[in-house]
Amino acid sequence: MLDVFYISYNESFADENYELLKVFAPHAQRVHGVKGIFEAHKAAAQKAKTSHFYVVDADAVIEEEFQFKFVPDQLTDAYPGVPETNCVFTYRSRNPVNDLIYGYGAVKLFPRAPFLELNDWSVDMTTSIGCPFVPKFQISNVTAFNTDPFNTWKSAFRECVKLSSNIIDNNDNIDDEYRLKVWQTRGMKRPYGEYAILGAEQGGEFGKTYQNDKSALKMINDFEWLERKFEEAI
């Protein structure tokens, strides 16, 4: 069984979600309070004892049917000439505000070795470690990001910067455009839906404006900067 890591920072709901995760993965370990998304993932890689490890975000509420049983096979190709063991796998999650189902906020499975060698990363964690990306179509969780105004806005802003800037290599631009439009138009009547739509609109604009400026795009991973941006937004 592969290691499972739950990554949290200062989310008010993190303890509750971690306890739920342990129902499905009693061996899950927690990486808590590490500043920076890259740094938290690298801390998980350093703690891992298995060749690959699962990552569960703090706002993930695991689906009852999901199991952490998949183990990549060196003898099975994910793509021609590319064994499963060399890949990053991402499941799907449900968005509770706009009902989209795709990889945003879903459980991910990483190979450990590339993280140990990596010293920096791009805007998106999943596609930054230089390994082929493989989508898994099982739904792993609900990404329950809409817990308060700031977390809702922040989550929508960050995701829509990625969707509008085309920063993620090999993504389907048509899918990105559709998802961006849904983020920006659906869910107003859901809890904190107005903050999701506001964040999506502003994130979409930011991503288009700075799509050729990676240093600006990387600011979406600075939570203190995001807090300032949110205060300006409202």
For the chain, percent of residues with pLDDT exceeding 70: 95
pLDDT in tens, 92-139: 999 999 999 999 999 999 999 998 888 776 677 666 677 999 999 999
Lowest mean pLDDT among 44-48, 109-113, 153-157, 219-223: 219-223
Mean pLDDT calculated for residue range 73-82: 97
Determine if the pTM surpasses 0.95. no
pLDDT in tens, 126-148: 666 779 999 999 999 999 999 99
Element (H, E) at 22: helix 14-24
What pLDDT shows up at residue 52?
A: 98
Selected residue with higher pLDDT from 221 and 68? 68
Question: Degrees (nearest 5) of the Cα angle 11, 108, 74?
Answer: 155
Measured in degrees and rounded to the nearest 5, phi and psi for residue 174 equal: -65, -45
For the chain, percent of residues with pLDDT exceeding 90: 82
The position carrying tokens 């609900």 is 142
Strand 108-111 relative to strand 101-102, pairing: unpaired
The position carrying tokens 């500043």 is 35
Would the pLDDT of 170 be above 60? no
Would the pLDDT of 172 be above 70? no
What pLDDT shows up at residue 171?
A: 62
Q: What confidence category does residue 167 fall into, taking pLDDT thresholds of 50, 70 and 90?
A: confident
Lookup: tokens for 231: 């205060």
User: How many residues in the chain?
Assistant: 234
Cα distance between residue 220 and residue 215, in whole Å: 10
